[in-house]
Amino acid sequence: MNDITTFVFDVDGVLTDSSVFVTNEGEILRTMNIRDGYAMKAAVESGYNVCIISGGSNEGVRVRLRNLGIKDIHLGTPDKVATFKEYTETYNIKPEQVLYMGDDIPDFHVMKLVGLPTCPQDASPEIKNICRYVSHVKGGKGAARDVIEQVMKVQEKWMEHFSGKHD
Q: Which residues pair with 73 in a beta bridge?
A: 52
SS3 of 82-109: HHHHHHHHHCCCCHHHEEEECCCHHHHH
Q: What angle do CA 48, 49, 50 make, to 5 degrees?
A: 110
Please provide the DSSP assignment of 41-55 as one string.
Answer: HHHHHTT-EEEEE-S
DSSP summary character for residue 60:
H
- 12 marked as binding residue: yes
Helix (H, G, I), strand (E, B) or coil at 23: coil
64 CB-side CA count, 13 A? 21
- Whether residue 167 is annotated as binding a ligand: the answer is no
Looking at this protein, which amino acid is placed at residue 12?
D
At 128, give phi and psi (nearest 5°): -55, -35
Binding residues for substrate: 12
Binding residues for Mg(2+): 10, 103
Binding residues: 10, 12, 103
